[in-house]
Chains A and B, each alone.
Chain A
Amino acid sequence: MSDAVRLIEIKEEIHADNQRVAQGLRRQLEEKKTFLLNVMSSPGAGKTSTILRTIDALRDRFRFGVLEADIDSMVDAELIAAQGISAVQLRTGGFCHLDAAMVAQGLDALDLNALDVVLIENVGNLVCPAEFDTGAVKNVMILSVPEGDDKPLKYPLMFTVSDALLVNKIDYLPFSDFKLEAMRERVLRLNPHIEIFEISAKTGQGVDQWAAWLSREASSFIGSASGASQPRIGKFLNASRC
């Protein structure tokens, strides 16, 4: 009887399946001419209020839909729907993040032909959502002033995969020891290409500049016939060179 140990080569990336679903979703969005934006942050950073402000600033230009992810509640979707915006609640059933398959299910419940921009409100968490490509065209994160300027050091991956950073609750800055310059330097060392916007979803400060960026990105995606670009979140899984 042989009990020699054999070695079987595998060389499989665990995220490869999700990555394939995400790429397929981006191709479908390109055909439908619908821009999908993934919004990530920790709980309480102001995702829902920022989404409402953003839609308010751009609703004359785009038709919006929202996918709301929550571990187990409907509160946010009800708030969005109360503003007359198509909203779908995805209950993740304890999952700490959304993946591309869950987002695809949510999009099935929306009429993409009647929507130009869909915003995903991801689960409030700075760790797990950074690891999963949702199929979104761009990824943004919100860091609110009360959370502190050291978050880039604690959650480097989230800052690395985001295309834009919204520093929210900027009206709270005078009451805190949050150092904008220190935060900016830390973030740019992780991701030199990130766009940083200082906003207050409460007062509306800075929302126009952020909305202008989103408007440019969405228009360029909706208007372009070229292949869907790969967002930062789908990069660096296998790359090992510059």
Chain B
Amino acid sequence: MHELQITERILDVVLKHASGLDVSKVVRIHLRIGALSDLEDEWIQHYFDYLSRGTVAENAQLAITRTGAVLCCQSCSCSFEVKREELGHAHCPDCGETGLELVSGREYVIENMEVL
């Protein structure tokens, strides 16, 4: 639902990094987004296309990599990755414990961008 706000942040960061580096065009932006994000990739791209008009990032393609959620077992401290739909059903693959703490899966990281 808040794709617009997140997309504005992405564009701000991209333009900040592009300035002063003699960038004529941003071709592709690589994003890493956690499995727990409810944002739709397609809508992030739509908003980006709209917001980036007239900037060096116009027509840039967003390459989004979704990362899994990582859980940490409260009993044996091992960590393992699960898919979003497995949350709430998960148990530790080593000891079977169900007391699990989320350690990652919420990130929104702009990794890098390909520019001309």
Contact = CB atoms under 8 A, between A and B. Distances in A.
B115 A152 contact: no
B74 interface: yes
A150 B65 CA distance: 28
Most chain B C-beta atoms within 10 Å of own C-beta, residue among A7, A15, A97, A131: A131
B57 to A, nearest CB: 12
Nearest to B29: A10
Contact of B36 (A12, A14, A157, A242): A157
Interface in A87-144: 95-97, 125, 127-128, 131
- Decide if the interface of chain B is mainly helix, strand, loop or mixed: mixed
A3 B108 contact: no
Interface residues of B, number: 47
B18 A14 contact: no
B13 A12 contact: yes
Interface stretch (A20-28, A48-56, A186-194): A186-194
A7 B113 CA distance: 6
A127 B1 contact: yes
Contacts of A131: 2, 37, 106
Given A128-B1, A128-B2, A238-B107, A14 B13 contact: yes
Contacts of A95: 2, 5
B103 A5 contact: no
Contacts of B98: 185, 188-189
A148 to B, nearest CB: 14
Contacts of A11: 109-112
B79 interface: yes
A237 B101 contact: no
Most chain B C-beta atoms within 10 Å of own C-beta, residue among A17, A153, A236, A239: A236
Nearest to B114: A5
A153 B5 CA distance: 26
A191 B112 contact: no
Nearest to B69: A156
A133 B100 CA distance: 22
B72 A96 contact: no
B108 A14 contact: yes
B46 interface: no
A216 interface: no
Contact of B110 (A10, A127, A128): A10
Contacts of A192: 74, 99-101
B53 interface: no
Nearest to A186: B88
B2 A96 contact: yes
A240 interface: yes
B106 to A, nearest CB: 5
Contacts of B23: 8
Which 6 A-B residue pairings sit nearest by Cβ, starting from the closest? A242-B72, A14-B108, A192-B99, A96-B1, A156-B87, A157-B36
Interface of B: 1-2, 5-6, 9-10, 13-14, 17-18, 21, 23, 27, 36-38, 70, 72, 74, 77-79, 84, 87-91, 98-116
